[in-house]
Chains A and B, each alone.
Chain A
């Protein structure tokens, strides 16, 4: 590329003086010339791969997904309906199945509600304030993700079991936690705690505290600021966290299995009942309940996709 024309005019105007100025005058000229077509033929687009390679990669991904995700899902529904639709509905109408569904809904309702409140409080504290031990608190919130669910369940056995820390006191006062609804709810809360907080912390950190400060300077109280400014700004993220929290709460097996005691019709949640029925060779009943959990998963996926889209919209940077 020729820089000559720009160079010559600049030197003549500068009367052959101030060599440093030449550089600064000549420098923009390549940019001015960039409008001309490039002389070199463009190589193949570097952002993509040749057709055959693309095909192989996509085919591999689809095959893998079909074998490990789609096929099992199809099997669940095929087994559930193998004896016809009336057998399927009959299996779901069993008192034991109804009890399990009721218990699962109850436990999910309790744990999601509590985790919603705790999650918002924790995310609020972490993202809007500075305090000592903040990093430690964030790590602690993640703990349930990194611990095996069976261990999470065992923790509660060690705390509330007959030989446990609070066991004798609880027995003396006739309070039932293990092998009862409170134990199952506690284990579920523990396992699902991170979902809401995790969904909110990055969102709230990104949003900062400016809008809250604006609200307060306009005379809003703390509660008004929370309900009129903070909550509307995080509502999609909050729903997202609640959705995942709910899916896990309904589907949790390991931790609940340890604290439940498997009392039929009383402390069996849906996942536990699926296993019991399966072990008793009642395949239609077992897969019928499994199909409900699978449907929950599918609905969760759809809603999650919608929420993610809403979240991205809310995150559109409000540039100048």
Chain B
């Protein structure tokens, strides 16, 4: 089901958790809400679920106004970061809960409920845990049960609030891939909240980057990584080198020295130059627009990460670059650097 959010405002006291947010989610999408803590992503998710109420704005699910319905009437599957399984019920009863509380008129008979729960436990590959209690399960198992429980009500949309946030790194990776393939299987429109960019880029069809109650950019993982719309997105997604520069006309200067790059229409004045670590070409001294001394090299996998102290500005500016292993760098070596790809954003403060 498609979801549409228009002009949502939510304040906690004087703090604006959401500041006129608009968002459209297409049917069958797997969307990530990505942002640092306090960016409003969880609040937005809870408003769509009906667990929080906006101060202004509209939410519609499948074309109908969702705000006239409470959370229990929205038929929205919600998965919590800390699972929120019913601790006094077995895994089986947890999954069956949504079916047992249905109004008598549409409630299924016991045999149908049992068959459905069995089917869901098979789907999350945990049918052998049916008679255990949540406290006897591992974190990854609990989260899969929580997902099965949410799917039991045949939700129109599925909302996941930092679903893997409380799990350790290895389990998180496994569950990520599992969620991806599960979505391919059942195709329910899903939104998940995360502060982990890798998770968002790896799992979602589209990523919504949020900061301070506003949406900074919406796009495919490739778009937000390669064409960040704002300085925030560039800094938040992927690792970037950020240098304070001055733009006048088409010239860009660092510490008063001109850099051999074009301003690409950036407004004159103070600005920030963003370069991905791996987008810096390394050459012998005197061939590029930046020059510096290699201070320290660490090699792992296909790359070597070098700390370079830029000359000029008293050598105080130290940047980290990633270079392929084919050209061995050594501490103490003077290298010249040339940005291959870069973005310039006007300095905000």
Which A positions have Cβ atoms within 8 angstroms of B?
A: 14-15, 17-18, 21, 210-211, 213-221, 224, 228-229, 232-233, 314, 316, 318, 320
Contact = CB atoms under 8 A, between A and B. Distances in A.
Contacts of A213: 51, 71, 78, 80, 84
A219 B331 contact: no
Interface string B75-88: 11110101011111
Nearest to B307: A18
A229 B168 CA distance: 29
Given A219-B102, A320-B166, A214 B78 contact: yes
B51 A217 contact: yes
B91 interface: no
B253 interface: no
B101 A214 contact: no
Which 7 residue pairs of A and B lie closest in terms of their CB atoms, listed nearest first? A218-B98, A320-B139, A210-B84, A217-B78, A214-B84, A220-B101, A232-B88
B87 A318 contact: yes
Contacts of B72: 216-221
B153 A219 contact: yes
A264 to B, nearest CB: 49
B307 to A, nearest CB: 8
Given A213-B84, A218-B153, A228 B101 contact: yes
Interface of B: 49-51, 70-78, 80, 82, 84-88, 97-98, 101-102, 134-135, 138-139, 146, 149-150, 152-153, 166-168, 295-296, 331-332
B101 A215 contact: yes
A232 B72 CA distance: 20
Given A216-B70, A318-B135, 11 more contacts: A17-B295, A17-B296, A18-B295, A21-B296, A217-B71, A217-B72, A217-B78, A218-B72, A220-B72, A221-B72, A232-B88
Contact of A211 (B86, B102, B139, B331): B86
A230 to B, nearest CB: 10
A268 to B, nearest CB: 43
Contact of A219 (B51, B75, B80, B295): B75
Contact of A17 (B75, B102, B166, B331): B331
Contact of B77 (A18, A210, A217, A320): A217
B97 A228 contact: yes
A210 B78 CA distance: 11
A320 B137 CA distance: 8
A210 to B, nearest CB: 4
A17 B55 CA distance: 58
Given A18-B295, A217-B76, A320 B138 contact: yes
The residue in B80, B87, B138, B146 that gathers the most chain A C-beta atoms within 10 A of its C-beta is B87
21 contacts: A213-B71, A213-B80, A213-B84, A214-B146, A215-B97, A217-B50, A217-B71, A217-B76, A217-B78, A218-B72, A218-B98, A218-B149, A218-B152, A219-B72, A219-B73, A219-B98, A220-B101, A228-B101, A320-B138, A320-B167, A320-B168
Given A18-B295, A214-B86, A318 B134 contact: yes
Contacts of A228: 97, 101
A220 B71 CA distance: 9
Nearest to A20: B296
Contacts of A214: 78, 80, 84-86, 146, 149
B101 A210 contact: no
A122 to B, nearest CB: 23
Given A219-B75, A233-B88, A17 B101 contact: no
Contacts of A232: 88
**Best-surrounded residue of A17, A210, A232, A318 (most CB of chain B within 10 A):** A318
Nearest to B82: A210
A210 B80 contact: yes
Contacts of A18: 295-296, 331
A224 B84 contact: no
A211 B167 contact: no
A224 B80 CA distance: 20
B46 to A, nearest CB: 9
A220 B89 CA distance: 15
A26 B86 CA distance: 47
Which of A211, A220, A316, A320 gathers most chain B CB within 10 Å? A320
Nearest to A313: B135
Contacts of B85: 211, 214
A221 B101 contact: yes
Contacts of B331: 14-15, 17-18
B13 to A, nearest CB: 12
A233 to B, nearest CB: 6
Contacts of B295: 17-18
Contacts of B87: 211, 233, 314, 318
A220 B97 CA distance: 9
Contacts of A316: 135
B296 A218 contact: no
